A and B are shown apart, each in its own frame.
Chain A
Amino acid sequence: MIGYAIRRTLYGLLVLFLITTFVFVVLRLIPGDVVRLQLADAPGVTQAQVDALAAELGLDQPVFTQFWSFISGAVTGDLGTSFETRLPVTEMIVERLPATLELGLLAIMFSVVLGVPLGIISAIRHNSFLDQSLRLVSVAGISVPNFWLALLLITYLSIWFGWSQPLVYAAPWENLGTNLAIMAIPALALGTSAMAAVSRMLRSSMLEVTQSNFVRTVRSRGAPERLVILKHAGRNSILPVFTLLGLQFGNILGGTVILESIFSIPGMGSLIFTSVQMRDYPVVLGCVIFYGAVFIFVNLLVDLVYAVIDPRIRYS
């Protein structure tokens, strides 16, 4: 079990290194010079000023040197300095992290709390009218873009119920009520497609498991259906759902970029959004790597959960 965890962690670190390299290279390959963009508005810029700024930003060094200095900083937790604010990127991320984590976790919670029961109901009553309706809702949930759903929610909640969100963001430790009122709609919009995907995945995997021989054995013991579904079929069919959740977490992280911007939530998503507009590449790089790290961590967690649930993985 411990060996398994170590192996998984090492894989995760390798993937993170590959992501970092990839993003670093891609950012350098984007046409356009950051220095010239930053100085573009000022008339009469001299080459000396350009060189000075380039030197200040470390852009006069060969790419490999830049990469090496970034990596050696990154392993100590230093992700460089923002071109725009001149603040350490790590500091900016740490400040923005809680809002994004909260949003992501709320979205995941929503998708699990609703998606799991819906999937079970669909599987138990498969091909019934209820199941058909739920499947229709699922397909719609997967297909609808989350930002559009969020806008619909804002609009119709205010038209039908006269309810609108608080305008000013508050962290959960400042004012939990305000915070949740702001977070509810983007979390709902973000979690909808994951919820739909979870219920569909659970439906099909549970249908498969309930046809299996060992479920018949459990029934032959005289076990009530509740025990059959929740203890045996449930645990056996939840594994693919965890894999799915790990992957969906990536979509949710991606979705935070737009949704945080729409809802003015001061998280990493909106930071990426403004940094891209400002061409603040160190911040974009830092945030993307951080998202990558979170994604890898979540999927590492999924792998470990797998081992907890399935002894065949634990003992191999």
Chain B
Amino acid sequence: MSHGHIARGAAHDLRVEGTGVENESGRVLLDVQDLSVEFRTGGGVLEALSGVNLTVRQGEVVAVVGESGSGKSVTALGVMGLLGNGRVSSGRIMWDDYTDLATARPKNFRAIRGNDIAMIFQDPMTSLDPLYTVGNQLSEALRLHRRMRRREARAEAIDLLGMVGIPDPGSKVDAYPHQMSGGQRQRVMIAIALACSPRLLIADEPTTALDVTVEAQVLSLLRDLQRDKNVSLMLITHDMGVVAEMADRVVVFYAGRVAEQGTVDDILQNPRHPYTQALLRAIPRPSTPRDEPMPAIAGNVPALHEMPAGCRFADRCPLVHDRCVEQPPHVAISSEHSTACWLATDDRSSAVLEGSPA
């Protein structure tokens, strides 16, 4: 399977954007280049991520959206080096222009993980060690990266709990996770993630497991902290409402590839990929008639072991045409906006490209 097939002009545009040279939006912190990740399973090697490019700049909120299994979480775990039995099969994960996290030694990676890059996970109920107090778990990061003494770390832990809005942090520091509600636990997770003042925070569907009222609180906490501390946020979500409210830029994943990326206005106002368009149509609105079925994208995401060689959305795409049997290039619409769809190419009418790998 070829994942390096990119239309030359478009690839050039994207690279310029990704090199981190002076840019009004701030310097590039994380630059994922052509990243592929594969998992070894009993049934062979499955490629979960194929040639993904994305960047996160200093102080920016990048929303990563897509269906379950589209590679959002795998991308995040790849950046964190927590792929488990998966591995980066090609590509680079450049951190702050000098470290390639895909090939970093475990020791060097550990110094970055939890310190420069931190992550909060989907399910706060199971993401904290049930046998240690939240203070202990908060202190651990501080003692690891800041070499704080026990007492010092505890005082800092209380401050952090206060910062994320836990009432009575002085006594909650000694509480065990099971003594807290889901929302409080997710606040604790945020406190742990922010303990060492990371420059990039990855939040993997941080509110999926929470109920709606708590969800709003946790999201506004995340946004406030992100702005106060000027930390970059890579927010994985499938809630377009959250995207509209929080994101500066949006990366749309489909079946292990980036389908489209651009500023939040590009994506919400002027989506160019049929998948993005369908995704936006599927959002229920107050005006959506209640007696009609909810709009949905017909069909399913192809399974990892039967990915088509061409466009992976072709089977479900209302605008599918002959060229879709080939993998589409990333086409630059503007300096920020690009989409992987043949429809966006200028030479739409031209015949199938000869000699391109399939």
Provide the residues of chain B in CB contact with A219, threshold 8 Å.
82, 113
Quick check: is B144 within 8 A (CB to CB) of the other chain? yes
Who on chain B is nearest to A239 by CB?
B131
Quick check: is B145 within 8 A (CB to CB) of the other chain? yes
* Chain A binder among B122-130, B163-171, B213-221, B250-258: B122-130
Q: Assuming A311-B178, A312-B176, A315-B176, is B128 touching A223 (CB within 8 A)?
A: no
**Residue in A216, A217, A219 with the greatest tally of chain B CB atoms within 10 Å:** A217
Contact of B179 among A214, A221, A309, A315 (CB under 8 A): A315
Who on chain B is nearest to A218 by CB?
B129
* A220–B80 touching, CB < 8 Å: yes
Number of A-B residue pairs, CB cutoff 8 Å, is 79
* B115–A214 touching, CB < 8 Å: no
Instruction: Report B119-154 residues with CB < 8 Å from chain A CB.
Output: 119, 121, 123, 126-132, 137, 140-141, 144-145
Instruction: Report A201-257 residues with CB < 8 Å from chain B CB.
Output: 211-225, 227, 232, 235-236
Q: How far is the CA of A215 from the CA of B129 in the complex (A)?
A: 7
Interface string of A284-316 (1 = CB under 8 A from B): 000000000000000000000000011110010
Contact of B141 among A212, A216, A222 (CB under 8 A): A222
Quick check: is B45 within 8 A (CB to CB) of the other chain? no
* B144–A213 touching, CB < 8 Å: no
* A214–B80 touching, CB < 8 Å: no
* Tally of chain B residues near chain A (CB < 8 A): 32
Provide the residues of chain B in CB contact with A212, threshold 8 Å.
126
Q: Assuming A222-B141, A311-B178, is B115 touching A217 (CB within 8 A)?
A: no
* A236–B129 touching, CB < 8 Å: yes
* B178–A217 touching, CB < 8 Å: no
* A214–B130 touching, CB < 8 Å: yes
Given pairs A232-B131, A315-B178, 20 additional interface contacts (CB within 8 A): A213-B121, A213-B127, A214-B126, A214-B129, A217-B127, A218-B137, A219-B113, A220-B113, A221-B140, A222-B109, A222-B111, A222-B114, A222-B145, A223-B114, A224-B110, A232-B132, A236-B129, A311-B130, A311-B176, A312-B178
22 intermolecular pairs with C-beta atoms under 8 Å apart: A212-B126, A213-B123, A213-B126, A217-B121, A217-B189, A218-B129, A218-B140, A220-B82, A220-B119, A221-B140, A221-B141, A222-B111, A222-B115, A222-B141, A223-B110, A223-B114, A225-B106, A236-B130, A236-B131, A310-B131, A311-B130, A311-B131
Closest 3 CB pairs of A and B: A222-B114, A221-B114, A222-B113
